[in-house]
Chains A and B, each alone.
Chain A
Amino acid sequence: MGIVLSNIIAIYRRELQSYFISPLAYAIASVFWLIGGLFFVTILLGPDGIIPAVNQIDLQGQQLGVPIPPIDVPYEFVRAFLDRMGWLLLFILPILSMGLYAEERKRGTLELLATSPVTNWAVAVGKLLGVLTFFTTMIIPLFVFQAIAISASNPPMSPTIPLLGHFGLILLAAAILSLGMFISSLTDSTILSAVLTFALVLLLLFVDVIAKSIGGPVGEILGHFSLLKHYNTLIQGIFDTSALILFTSYIFLGIFLTAQSIDALRFQRR
């Protein structure tokens, strides 16, 4: 067990190093920050943003002397922002996951990895942890900006809901990355891997819509597999174990399928 763990850590470190010395990773991060920042500013401060809109309502209420229904501005802001971030993940994560195995295949190092004494799933776990860590570091600055904005709220807001929401964001990212890793292990073309992952994630996000149009028990079962539905539950501030279990299932499935696909490779080459 200790050996497996140290193997995982070794793979994890190697992956992380490759990210932090890769100019491409920084370029991706930079684009991500730019789009994320754009969302942040437009939702919070932009002309149609939540602060000016609520100020407008307040002003109207004062002029007309009408009581205004209560609005929880920071809560609405965090929810709206995390909702947009969920969509942003759809575009960013396939780019992060596309190279995980496809790159190794292209370079010819995958055989090395597949025949090494490290088990396949340990490799998969290490790689997933690495890319997830990189993603988490990408969202940290955005989280800090939100924390600054929320700290200016009156009366103060407890950090429970933003924390739960970001936890949900990381879980969603982990599920998508895990599936992306599996797709990446199937092909040696990074572009193809990214496109396929994008399609798969789009399907998993939209399965909710399909399920609603079908209706009935079949629709209900399909609807449960929707990533977006469970993500929305979490960012609304509802802690639900079934959402956690669904995300964990996707993560596990991705790792398992990756291990199987590498296993098949090992057998084919023999």
Chain B
Amino acid sequence: MKIIKKNKLGKYLFWLGPFLVAVGLTSGLFTGNWGIISLVFLITGIFISALWIGLQSYQTKWWNRRSTQVSTNALIAIVAVFVILGLVNFLSTRYNFRKDLTEAQLFTLAPQSQELMRRLPQSVKLWIFDVNRNPQDRELLENYRRQSSNFQFEYIDPQARPTLANKFGVKDYGEVYLESGDNRQLVQTLNVNERLSEIRLTNRLQQITNATTTAVYFLQGHGEQAMTSGQGGISQAIQGLGDRNYTASALNLVEKSQVPEDAAVVVVAGPKRELFDNEVKALQNYLNGGGNALLMIDPNTETNLNSLLQEWGVILDNRLAVDVSGTGVGLGPAVPIVTDYGQHPITKEFGNGISFYRLARPLETTPVAGIESTTLLQTKPYPESWGESDQQSETLEFDPETDLPGPLTVGVALRKTIPAETQPTPEASPTPTPRTQTPNPEASPTPTPPEETPNPEASPTPTPPEETPNPEASPTPTPSEEIPNPEASATPTPPAEIPNPEASPTPTPSEETNPISTTEEKPAESTIESRLVVIGDSDFATDGLFEQQLNGDVFLNSVTWLSQQDQQPLSIRPKEPRNRRINLNIVQANLLTLSSLLLLPVMGLMAAAIIWWKRR
């Protein structure tokens, strides 16, 4: 009697096993951490279940039956098949072959991104602080991860993990950060209209994995904006540069006679006093040796930089840019608002966003041979903005005599190609020297093959009888235009101030080498580029104004472009599907509708009816 009772109790006790397992599992799954409590429940549950099974099998001795043996075999076979299939699938995800068959390669990363990922040196993690996971974004990120095991990504709900979000300084949903070691960078902020962009991500990836920081020097000593924080300081701009892997340091050209070797960009932020001639000379030399500079020059200051600017075809206007359209948003007439940006890598993502420039001076550009200039910032057209010459009077009025009607150019970006210093011996290369001043193949008439033409690009006339040792001295017929156009400059004469040892005589062997193809083959190694951005204002980058609207972006993008590290990533094109339409006329459309909606189902039904009738 007692024994039976005990057995019954044991039966009920068995249910405790699965129950405890369930408790352990649920507590573990819901709290998300497998703490001691859930583990204790789990282990006790499993132990009780195992005990019961052992006890039961001991009592029944089921393993001696034949049916057990057969079903055990079957069970083992089934388990084995599951394991094998699982392994096969595991391997198939690891070593899979994937081919994007879409015509525009919509689901494949750009070659530049692939290359970058393939040689990703350290582990990088992408954090997306967002709750909704866009499948398109995921697809893109999966593509990145497939390329390199060093790349990870994770979606984080900033509400659920506030400490992590604070660590990154997350302000809003949709912010995407890259983290590598101690380095953290904002990639972009996602929203409904803006999905994760491969261009930005690859850009940032390159920056964050680039171990070497790029040096940016700020010229000091003439009352420039202070690099420390406070009124008129540019500490926020320097902070922004730091986030993008740039190191900012002060540069005093009075102590050093030349710009340091490692300088990627020299920033001259609003000097109040004149620079010494030696300093200007140092800057000039730097720029002519492939250097890059950002000049931000306020109105009513004499900087002694005019000669340098003239070389680049930039003239600083002494008037003050006035814009009366900003009064509605609390900006005075001396604060021009810019919503019109040039087509340039610096401004291409701005759309018609706003940036503003307190006390700015207009600029003018004149074409100079070999220099390509792009207007960056332009104020509104005349009735709303003009260049005011009379800055003493109380009232601002347009005076057609002395004032300059809008639109005014406030910022301009320029680039100049400079022949490289190092070059191979002329004998080694049968090509016409690709480093002649203008590598512009369009301007060349067909070179006459039999004669030796030292400079096929600039000889539309019968070629000179003997080898002219100096192309500058060669009788180049000047084109009809007076102003040398940088687009189609046929004059090979370089700007006078550039020492040009490369223009030395390189008699081209009389082969049928096409100068067009050769000049295009290797322009990269033959020339270096130097870049200059001139902005007629320095206030926009100072603390307080830097964070407003697009002001900071103007500064940071300018430095990024100037540092010449942008060439690779910027050349990534956004993926676009082929533009294709289906042109169905009414008859075709109706035919398709009728046959698919009516004809086919009715045929099926009729067949069913006929067969049913026959078999009845």
Contacts and interface: CB of A to CB of B under 8 A. Distances in A.
Interface of A: 21-27, 29-31, 33-34, 36-38, 40-41, 44-45, 51, 54, 58, 69-75, 77, 141-142, 145, 148-150, 152-155, 157-158, 160-161, 164, 212, 215, 224, 236-242, 245-246, 249, 252-253, 256-257, 260, 263-264, 267
A26 B608 contact: yes
A249 B605 contact: no
Nearest to B98: A240
B582 to A, nearest CB: 5
Q: Taking chain A's interface residues, is the majority helix, strand, or loop, or is none over half, making it mixed?
A: helix
Contact of B98 (A38, A241, A246): A241
A209 B608 CA distance: 39
A238 B583 contact: no
B99 interface: yes
A257 B89 contact: no
Nearest to A46: B593
A260 B615 CA distance: 36
On chain B, which size bracket covers the interface? 35 or more
B102 A161 contact: yes
A27 B74 CA distance: 39
Given A72-B578, A153-B580, 12 more contacts: A26-B608, A27-B604, A27-B605, A30-B603, A37-B600, A41-B593, A145-B592, A237-B100, A237-B102, A239-B97, A260-B77, A263-B74
B98 A30 contact: no
A237 B581 contact: no
B101 A161 contact: yes
B611 A31 contact: no
B133 A224 contact: no
Contact of A252 (B85, B588, B593, B608): B85
Task: Give the interface centre of A33, A149, A158, A239 by most chain B CB atoms within 10 Å.
Answer: A33
Interface string B74-113: 1001100110010011001100111111111011000000
A152 B133 CA distance: 36
A239 B99 contact: yes
A38 B597 contact: yes
A74 B597 CA distance: 20
A185 to B, nearest CB: 14
Contact of B578 (A21, A22, A70, A256): A70
A149 B89 contact: no
B133 A212 contact: yes
Contacts of B611: 21-23, 26
A242 B582 contact: no
Contact of A33 (B101, B588, B600): B600
A242 B96 contact: yes
Contact of A253 (B81, B155, B612): B81
A108 B597 CA distance: 40
Contacts of B134: none
Nearest to B608: A26
Contacts of A69: 576
A263 to B, nearest CB: 7
Given A71-B579, A145-B595, A155-B578, A240 B601 contact: no
B577 interface: yes
Contacts of B582: 44, 51, 73-74, 77, 149-150, 152-154
A224 B85 CA distance: 13
Nearest to B609: A23
A164 B604 contact: no
B71 interface: yes
A69 B67 CA distance: 68
A224 to B, nearest CB: 6
Contact of B576 (A44, A70, A158, A160): A70
A164 B579 CA distance: 21
Given A41-B596, A145-B596, A224-B93, A26 B99 contact: no
B577 A45 contact: no
Contacts of A164: 101
Nearest to A145: B596
24 contacts: A21-B611, A23-B612, A26-B611, A27-B605, A30-B604, A38-B597, A41-B593, A41-B596, A51-B582, A71-B580, A72-B578, A77-B582, A141-B600, A145-B596, A152-B583, A153-B580, A237-B100, A239-B97, A240-B98, A240-B99, A241-B97, A242-B92, A249-B88, A253-B81
